Amino acid sequence: MQALRRFFETAGYLEADTPILAPDLIPENHLDVFRTQFEAPDREARELYMIPSPELHLKRLLAHGYGDLFQITRCFRNGESTGNRHNPEFTMLEWYTVDSDYHASLDTTFKLLQNLADRFESEAAPEAYRVLTREPRVLTIETAFREYVGVSLEQALQRNNLREALTKAGLEPRSLESTEELVNLALVDRVEPNLPADRPVALLDYPKQIPTLARELPGTPWCERWELYLGGVELANCYSEETDPEQVKRFFDAQQTRKQLRHAAHAVDPGFPKLFGAGFPRCSGVALGVDRLLLVLCGADSLDEVIYFPLAAALERNELRGEATTQ
């Protein structure tokens, strides 16, 4: 944690400390959230939410001219299975660089990994050190689909037959219909298991049909986004951030409509899109899972080995205690 802070402080970033409890969130249909109730004698009870990322607050600071920012904070995501690489409460490093794009952020990320390799050469697991210091592989989603799925994603999107193309490639989309679901199926089943685990790997340029707050790559079917894998572990996600208030509002409206159909609906600040526009800086943001980074650095097989008190273990203890009390 000290090494991460030192890297960004040395580079001139300001460390932010924002709330983990919020009255509203950015709507993201694929994320479920934890809820709680704020009660006070002098006001009406209000539902609050544990943040799934600090993005909401950091972008408010960006809009007020705070410049390059980073934060290391606890985040919370509900509705996901616990396992070797998932814990409902986790530590995230998120940073934003003004006057920057996703390519520059990828360079910064590689420098961060090299910095960690240099700092922990004698303490990191030997295989982790080798992974950190090998030449990264950078490839587009289109290249990855051609190489590992045997499908041109660009052509399938143009012809509107991605489901059919994946079926012919031997995948089983079953009832999946949306581009996001179909792309994720191919990524999880074919692409991610075949990515080199002996070096950092970045997948660039995701389809713009997958709704995010990433800027679109002009004249292409892609948006300016990448995801980073380290030692076969999905580690970080990055955008060139969308700064058009109308585009942000369209994203909010569409995602909120979809969330209303799920149990994960939550309050949204309708004024948030107004932060963007002329006063909001061109920037790029990266979110990196610190617990997963530690997992790779330590050569561990499970997050349980790098988190002091994983939730699954605590729940299991309570369940066993309950069984003993019943007996």
Reduced to 3 states, what is the DSSP secondary structure of residue 108? helix
Least confident span in 25-34, 54-63, 275-284: 25-34
225 touches 236 (CB < 8 A): no
pLDDT digits 0-9 by tens, 248-307: 999 998 888 877 666 567 889 999 999 998 889 999 999 999 999 999 999 999 999 999
Reduced to 3 states, what is the DSSP secondary structure of residue 16? coil
Compare 177 and 294 and report the one with higher pLDDT.
294
Binned at pLDDT 50, 70 and 90, residue 49 comes out as very high
* Closest alpha carbon to 28 in 304, 272, 318: 272
pLDDT at 321 over 70: no
- Domain 2-136+199-326, architecture per CATH: 2-Layer Sandwich (3.30)
Report pLDDT for 157.
93
151 touches 182 (CB < 8 A): no
Report pLDDT for 2.
95
Q: What percent of the chain has pLDDT over 70?
A: 96
Binned at pLDDT 50, 70 and 90, residue 319 comes out as low
Buried b / exposed e along 145-168 (16+ C-beta atoms within 10 A): bbebbebebbebbeeeebbebbee
Mean pLDDT of the chain: 92
Edge to edge, the sheet with strand 21-22 lists 21-22, 43-50, 35-40
Compare 308 and 94 and report the one with higher pLDDT.
94
pLDDT at 143 over 80: yes
Cα 30 to its chain centre, rounded Å, is 11
Average pLDDT over every residue of 64-76:
97
Report pLDDT for 299.
92
Average pLDDT over every residue of 128-146:
96
pLDDT digits 0-9 by tens, 198-239: 999 999 999 999 999 999 999 999 999 999 999 999 999 999
Dmax (CA) for the chain in angstroms is 67
Least confident span in 111-120, 147-156, 303-312: 303-312
Cα–Cα separations (whole angstroms), residue 112 to 77, 146, 327: 26, 30, 53
Cα–Cα separations (whole angstroms), residue 69 to 10, 16, 169, 283: 12, 7, 43, 11
